[in-house]
Structure 1
Amino acid sequence: METFQSPLKQQNIRFRQSTSVPGRERVVRVAFVLLDHFSLTTLSTAMDALVTGNLINGETLYQVATCSLKGGLVESDIGVPVSSQRLVAEGLTHDAVIVVGGQRVRLASQPLLRRVLKKTASKGIVAGCWNAAFYLADAGLLDTHEFACHSDSRALISEYFPQLKASGLDFICAQRRATCASAHAALGMTLAIMQELGSRSDAALVDEIKRLHQPGQGEPAITAESVRPAAIPKPLNIALDLMENNIEEPMEIDEIASQTGVSRRQLERRFSRYLNAAPNRYYLELRLTRARQLIVQSDRSLTDVALATGFISYPHFYKRFKDLFGLSPMTFRDYYYASDCASRGHALAASS
């Protein structure tokens, strides 16, 4: 199987067929402890990062569970209930335990939660979202750590634990303790936890999860401009624009070089230096990236996708797509949706 050579690799790598052997992934178990009136946005942001991690062709499988002090349905801050398992005094056996607070969560010492967090801290990561740093502090787990929390709760936590130092950072993850100040910051905190607990190969893909799931932002289109280095020669910028604007009817490389005012050889050297790929190779990867987007995000026929991305025949498109993504276009469409549904279904089942 061929591999992507250009900067487009990071945007496409999670869509390649996994080469890992099923059953041999590193399994990381994460439990979310839901407090009454917890922030649903915080939970969904953190959980979505983990589920997306399962879709990436890495070596780690994230298993998610939701727990609470009483078990059963826990009402979120917007009134939507989420099912949970009941915490027990024996504690949890998960690699990370994340307590989910929220604006409407009332802070009060909970002996059972204190015991669970202490036991987890001896072997795993403990974390608190929004104002849940209170519970880590109550368990004596922040005595030598700065913590992040929502500004509305900082004064109250400082009143109970005056010896602790609140940070102005959105999130902190260090020495197996993690805290974040808001739903937005839960993404960065969760990604930091994934980097610490996951395989090394997964850590390199964290930026891709962030790009896909940054709260308040949709997935940006992958364009020539979005992957180009910050400072590149003007002729190369022009060449990338020409490629981006001529996907359906690809230009010849000689014509692109002519319009940029340099020779083909000069253009090839600049592509090699700044984009680590020959011009024709980068152009192919750009077209196949667009094809992947159309396959995943639309119901257009695969023949239409081939024509829309500059392939004169479906067999040619079929071969090149399979070379880079490891699956035929049709199998890829079926595989992607099946994997997406299965991964999200697994997370929901684990939390019920």
Structure 2
Amino acid sequence: MDTFQSALKLQNIGFQQTTESVGHERVVRVAFILLDHFSLTSLSTAMDALATGNLINSKTVYKVSTYSLLGGLVGSDIGIPLSSETLSVEKINHDALFVIGGQRVRLSSNPTIRRVLKKTAGGRGVVAGVWNAAFYLADAGLLDDQYCACHADSCALINEYYPQVKTGEAEYTFAQRRATCAGASSALDMTLAIMQVLSSQHDADLVDEIKRVHQPKKPPFNDVTLGAVSLVKPVPRPLNVAVSLMENHIEEPMEIDEIASHVGVSRRQLERRFARYLNAAPNRYYLELRLTRARQLIIQSNRSLTDVALATGFVSYPHFYKRFKDLFGLPPMTFRDNYYSSDFSNSERYAIAAGF
């Protein structure tokens, strides 16, 4: 299988697949402990990051379970209940354990939560406290002489009960496989930091891609190339204009000589700048840009594959078929079917807990 060469690689590497690679993923088990009146936004933010990791077909699959002290339905802060299993030490054998707090969660020491946190931490798992749930990590003795993040309304209580724990102003902390965050707005960054540790080496770029998905606003081109690659030096204006021309002429691609003429440089000068800043020749970058757009259309629309081919500048479907398969490892139709099928996107590939 061919690979992406240009700076677009990070946007697409998670989507590359072969029929042989399905079913050979590393499963990471993640447990969420839901406290009464837990923050539903915090939970969904963390779970959505895990689900996105699964959806882009990484080599790490996150399998999620939800628990509570009594089991059954647990009321969230906005009144929507979620189902859960009864929490017990015997059931917890996970790679990561999140305790989900919230503004209306009443904090009190609980021996079961204390034991499962100690068990997970002792087994080299990651333990995390969301919103004010740093309280429970502190109660388990897992934050002694460490900084933690918690909601401002709960810091005083933690300081009173656990003076050996340092509460700071950071939105989230992650050290020695202990993570805390102050609320829903920082749950994503904390979860991404945890995923960076839990993911396999193959997924080194996975977190950057998930962040791009969840923070979709496109930065200025001079700061970040297509939301994927940070650049050390400002992008020359001719390259900036050239890429903009390519983005605006996907359906009817321009000739490279024509693009060079529009930006006022020679073809050779343009090629040198593409090679230096985008790691590919202009033709190659243009092809990968069009196939990136094709991948987005295949996943996010019901358009026929022939329409997708025409919309991305391919004069014939066979040519599009070959190019797409070269880079993504599967024919377009198989790629679309597998992305949504139960074989490729089953309950273990999606990070969806019971009842969520």
**TM-score, scaled to structure 2:** 0.91
Regions of 4+ moved over 3 Å:
18-24, 217-220, 222-230, 343-352
Match of 1:143 in 2: 144
After superposition, what is the alpha-carbon deviation per residue over 1:166-204, rounded to whole angstroms, capped at 9, x for unaligned? 121111111011101111211111111112122122232
Q: Which secondary structure does the structure 2 equivalent of 1:209 belong to?
A: helix
* Alpha-carbon separation, structure 2, partners of 1:108 and 1:224: 48
Match of 1:287 in 2: 290
Match of 2:313 in 1: 310
For residue 242 of structure 2, what is the amino acid of its counterpart?
Answer: A
Q: Which runs of 5+ in 2 are unaligned?
A: none
Report deviation, 1:342: 2.2
Are the counterparts in 2 of residues 213 and 219 from structure 1 also a CA contact under 8 Å?
Answer: no
Report deviation, 1:207: 1.0
For residue 316 of structure 1, what is the amino acid of its counterpart?
Answer: H
Match of 1:52 in 2: 52
After superposition, what is the alpha-carbon deviation per residue over 1:273-307, rounded to whole angstroms, capped at 9, x for unaligned? 11110000101111111111111111122212111
Are the counterparts in 2 of residues 171 and 181 from structure 1 also a CA contact under 8 Å?
Answer: yes
* Alpha-carbon separation, structure 2, partners of 1:237 and 1:349: 44
For residue 25 of structure 2, what is the amino acid of its counterpart?
Answer: E
Report deviation, 1:139: 1.1
Q: 1:225 to 1:119 in 2, by over 3 A?
A: closer
* Alpha-carbon separation, structure 2, partners of 1:21 and 1:302: 24
For residue 317 of structure 1, what is the amino acid of its counterpart?
Answer: F
Match of 2:128 in 1: 127
Are the counterparts in 2 of residues 37 and 74 from structure 1 also a CA contact under 8 Å?
Answer: yes
Report deviation, 1:337: 1.9
Q: Which secondary structure does the structure 2 equivalent of 1:342 belong to?
A: coil
Match of 1:75 in 2: 75
> Given the alignment, which residue of 297, 302, 312 partners 2:300?
297
Q: Which secondary structure does the structure 2 equivalent of 1:70 belong to?
A: coil
Question: Which residues in structure 2 correspond to 1:211-290 (within 5 Å)?
Answer: 211-214=212-215, 225-227=226-228, 229=231, 231-290=234-293
Report deviation, 1:205: 1.4
**TM-score, scaled to structure 1:** 0.92
Report deviation, 1:211: 1.5
Report deviation, 1:137: 0.8
Are the counterparts in 2 of residues 91 and 119 from structure 1 also a CA contact under 8 Å?
Answer: no
Q: 1:17 to 1:91 in 2, by over 3 A?
A: closer
Match of 2:117 in 1: 117
Q: Which secondary structure does the structure 2 equivalent of 1:348 belong to?
A: coil
Report deviation, 1:148: 0.4
Q: Which runs of 5+ in 1 are unaligned?
A: none
Q: 1:21 to 1:306 in 2, by over 3 A?
A: closer
Whether 1:207 and 2:208 are equivalent positions in the alignment is yes
- Structure having greater relative contact order (Cα 8 Å, sep ≥ 6): 2
Q: 1:274 to 1:213 in 2, by over 3 A?
A: same
How many percent of aligned residue pairs carry the same amino acid?
A: 70
Report deviation, 1:349: 5.5
Q: 1:327 to 1:21 in 2, by over 3 A?
A: closer
Are the counterparts in 2 of residues 25 and 61 from structure 1 also a CA contact under 8 Å?
Answer: yes
Q: 1:22 to 1:306 in 2, by over 3 A?
A: closer
RMSD between superposed Cα atoms in Å? 2.4
Question: Which residues in structure 2 correspond to 1:95-114 (within 5 Å)?
Answer: 95-114=95-114
Which has the higher mean CA deviation after the structures are superposed, 73-82 or 300-309?
300-309
Q: Which secondary structure does the structure 1 equivalent of 2:284 belong to?
A: helix
After superposition, what is the alpha-carbon deviation per residue over 1:124-177, rounded to whole angstroms, capped at 9, x for unaligned? 221100000001111111112110011121122212222321121111111011
Aligned residues: 349
Q: Which secondary structure does the structure 1 equivalent of 2:128 belong to?
A: strand
Question: Which residues in structure 2 correspond to 1:139-218 (within 5 Å)?
Answer: 139-214=140-215
For residue 101 of structure 2, what is the amino acid of its counterpart?
Answer: G
Are the counterparts in 2 of residues 91 and 120 from structure 1 also a CA contact under 8 Å?
Answer: no
Q: 1:57 to 1:288 in 2, by over 3 A?
A: same
Are the counterparts in 1 of residues 61 and 348 from structure 2 also a CA contact under 8 Å?
Answer: no
Match of 1:334 in 2: 337
Q: Which secondary structure does the structure 2 equivalent of 1:322 belong to?
A: helix
Query: Which structure shows the bigger proportion of residues in helix conformation?
Result: 1
For residue 67 of structure 2, what is the amino acid of its counterpart?
Answer: C
Are the counterparts in 1 of residues 209 and 228 from structure 2 also a CA contact under 8 Å?
Answer: no
* Alpha-carbon separation, structure 1, partners of 2:298 and 2:60: 26
Are the counterparts in 2 of residues 97 and 117 from structure 1 also a CA contact under 8 Å?
Answer: yes
